[in-house]
């Protein structure tokens, strides 16, 4: 198996499989790197995003960004698992606009102290946006959890709740 890399007619040092240069290649563009097979971009790294255009099979442990929070907080880009330690009467998680995190952005909120029945975890939508039609939702069960997903435009949907 031989690969050809060149800065000649290819751009930015692209790498192509010699026996079929249109089938398998790695493109080095100005703002992303893409791996192509069968002429289709399958795996793209751009900025802080990684895009897989088909099924991704991950072998081993998947580690998500985890934050442990004990006061009111703003959910930020890169958030995933938000472990809430309720020391106040309640803790409010303020969501950004759904468009900031993008379509399909998933957030998991969890009461890690078992006190949500008396110290609710409030998840508040941004501005006029909603979470399943509500301006805010609450985790009110001890050890409770809620998973939400953004539509990338103007709101969030509850995907699961304990």
Q: What is the model's pLDDT at position 130?
A: 97
Q: What is the model's pLDDT at position 30?
A: 64
d(CA 145, CA 41): 37
Q: Do 83 and 151 have their domain in common?
A: yes
**Mean per-residue pLDDT pooled into runs of 10, the chain (162 residues):** 44 56 62 75 78 78 87 91 84 95 94 94 97 97 97 96 93
Name the residue range of residue 43's domain: 13-60
Q: What is the model's pLDDT at position 4?
A: 47
In a domain, 4, yes or no: no
Q: Do 98 and 146 have their domain in common?
A: yes
Q: What is the model's pLDDT at position 160?
A: 96
Q: pTM for the complete prediction?
A: 0.72
In a domain, 6, yes or no: no
Q: Do 53 and 73 have their domain in common?
A: no
């Amino acid at each position: 198996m031989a690969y050809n890399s060149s800065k000649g007619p290819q751009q930015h040092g692209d790498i192509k499989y010699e026996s079929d240069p249109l089938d398998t290649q790695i493109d080095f563009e100005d703002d992303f790197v893409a791996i192509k097979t069968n002429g289709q971009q399958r795996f793209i790294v751009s900025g802080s995003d990684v895009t897989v255009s088909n099924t991704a099979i991950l072998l081993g442990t998947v580690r998500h960004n985890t934050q442990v929070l004990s006061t009111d907080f703003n959910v930020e880009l890169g958030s995933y698992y938000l472990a809430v330690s309720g020391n106040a009467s309640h803790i409010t998680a303020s969501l950004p606009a759904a468009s900031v995190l993008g379509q399909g952005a998933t957030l998991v909120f969890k009461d890690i102290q078992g006190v949500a029945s008396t110290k609710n975890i409030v998840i508040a939508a941004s501005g006029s946006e909603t979470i399943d039609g509500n301006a805010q939702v609450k985790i009110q069960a001890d050890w409770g959890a809620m998973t939400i997903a953004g539509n990338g435009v103007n709101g969030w949907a509850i995907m699961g709740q304990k």
